[in-house]
Amino acid sequence: MIPNKYLSISPEVQQALSQHKPVVALESTIISHGMPYPQNVETAMRVEQTIRDCGAVPATIAIIGGKLKAGCTPDEIEYLGKRGTAITKASRRDLPVLLARGEDGATTVTTTMIIAHMAGIQVFATGGIGGVHRGAETTMDISADLEELAQTRVMVICAGAKSILDLGLTLEYLETKGVPVIGYGTHELPAFYTRHSGFGVDYRVDSPEELAAIFSAKIEAGLTGGMLVTNPIPEEYSMPADVINAAIDRAIAEANEQGIRGKATTPFLLARVKELTGGDSLDANIQLVLNNARLAARTAAALAQS
């Protein structure tokens, strides 16, 4: 690993990496922008504990005081949760400014992948990735997550693309960029809150060991870019597709009426969908993140043994 004066790896994560123990990266946008306080902090700590229970070390990633943090303390997670949306939602384009100014940033899928790769962490668990937004043929609103998956060698385990997106175009974009999209126990792309989208994925895999073998082959062959594993939300927490789609359609219409664009779009839509579903979407969000954390920990353990 090349020394980087901006990178700060926690002692626990550094020890695990040096001893070739499994480590799982976690994002911080879900803490600062994805959920209200104190549920955001409670969920973050619960996800970390879930990873520990599965035999891996959690590394919550964020930018604090101009440092790229690979592994946050409980106090730092509390800080991120309390400050909430006052903390910049940081994508790749924001990093130089935040580092130079010594500011804070909540990491998206993109920036979590960047920092995880810098630190030597290969597996990252999140909720859902960004993608091609509905209407992107005129707005060009395409998440930087897709570009990062094309260039940064990290395995991202998620519950599919957020169902506020154009899922068909998101899959087309990933195919063009050469990103393997793998369904865990399914041939269908999960749609975040619900298990079903009607869109197929490239491959189905049924064990963490096979996920680890595929990612190892990618590395050993010298292939660039990441790998996307789509892990459906557990059946008992999956929301009916018609209910969630109706809420999403209404939220998108309201966002258009209010002129909401760019990085403000996803937080607005997720918050509005939560209101329209009576909080059911927040409960589903928490459960799918925990489910992804379990799979990520088991996959990281299999990678560590390979």
Dihedral sign of CA atoms 5, 6, 11, 13 in order: negative
Give yes or no for a contact between 302 and 208, defined as CB atoms under 8 angstroms apart: yes
Please identify every residue annotated as catalytic: 27, 162
What value, to the nearest 5°, has the Cα angle with vertex 285 and ends 282 and 291? 145
Q: Identify the helix (H) or strand (E) that includes residue 293.
A: helix 280-305
Cα(24)–Cα(37) distance, integer angstroms? 24
Q: Which amino acid is at 251?
A: A
**Block residue for tokens 């008992």:** 236
Structure tokens belonging to residue 253: 């219409």
Phi, psi of 64 (to 5 degrees): -130, 120
DSSP 26: E
Cα(159)–Cα(151) distance, integer angstroms? 21
For residue 304, give every residue at least 6 positions away whose Cβ sits within 8 Å of its Cβ, in sequence order, or none. Answer: 20, 21, 22
